[in-house]
Amino acid sequence: MPTPFTHLYAAQAALTDPLIPEATRQFLNEHQRAYLLGSVVADGHFLAKLRRADTHFYSYDEPITVTPWRVMLMRYPRLWLASDADHRAFLAGYVFHLTLDEVWTMEMLAAHFGHGQWGTQQQRFLMLHVMLIGMDERDLGLLDERSWSAMHESTPGDWLPFLPAPALREWGDLMYDQVKPNGYSKTFDIIAPRVGMTPDELRALMLDHERAERELWVHIPRETLAQVEARMVEAAREQLLTYLHESAKQPTRHDSENAEQ
Give me the pLDDT at residue 61, please.
Answer: 87
End-to-end CA distance of the chain: 44
Query: Cα(181)–Cα(179) distance, rounded to whole angstroms?
Result: 6
What's the chain's average pLDDT?
94
- Work out the pLDDT band at 251, boundaries 50, 70, 90: low
* E strand or H helix that includes residue 56: helix 52-56
Average pLDDT over residues 155-168: 95
How many CA atoms does the CB half-sphere of 60 hold within 13 Å?
13
pTM higher than the cut 0.75: yes
Give me the pLDDT at residue 256, please.
Answer: 47
Residue 107 has pLDDT above 70, yes or no: yes
Q: How far is CA 219 from CA 1, 66, 88, 107, 166, in A?
A: 20, 30, 41, 15, 43
Q: For the chain, what percent of residues have pLDDT higher than 90?
A: 91
* Higher pLDDT pick, 256 / 164: 164
Residue in 94, 107, 85 with CA at minimum distance from that of residue 240:
94
Residue 1 has pLDDT above 60, yes or no: yes
Give me the pLDDT at residue 253, please.
Answer: 54
Tell me phi and psi for residue 84, to 5 degrees: -165, -175
Per-residue pLDDT tens over the stretch 185-229 = 999 999 999 999 999 999 999 999 999 999 999 999 999 999 999
Q: For the chain, what percent of residues have pLDDT higher than 70?
A: 96
- Work out the pLDDT band at 116, boundaries 50, 70, 90: confident
Average pLDDT over residues 175-184: 95
Tell me phi and psi for residue 46, to 5 degrees: -65, -25
- Work out the pLDDT band at 261, boundaries 50, 70, 90: very low
Query: Cα(42)–Cα(168) distance, rounded to whole angstroms?
Result: 9
- Work out the pLDDT band at 146, boundaries 50, 70, 90: very high
Distant-in-sequence, close-in-space partners of 125: CB < 8 Å, separation ≥ 6: 113, 195
Give me the pLDDT at residue 18, please.
Answer: 97
Would you say 143 and 183 are in contact if contact means Cβ atoms under 8 Å apart?
no
Give me the pLDDT at residue 181, please.
Answer: 93
- Work out the pLDDT band at 258, boundaries 50, 70, 90: very low
Residue 255 has pLDDT above 80, yes or no: no
Sign for the pseudo-dihedral over CA of 73, 90, 3, 175 = negative
Give me the pLDDT at residue 257, please.
Answer: 46
Query: Cα(234)–Cα(48) distance, rounded to whole angstroms?
Result: 31
Average pLDDT over residues 58-86: 95
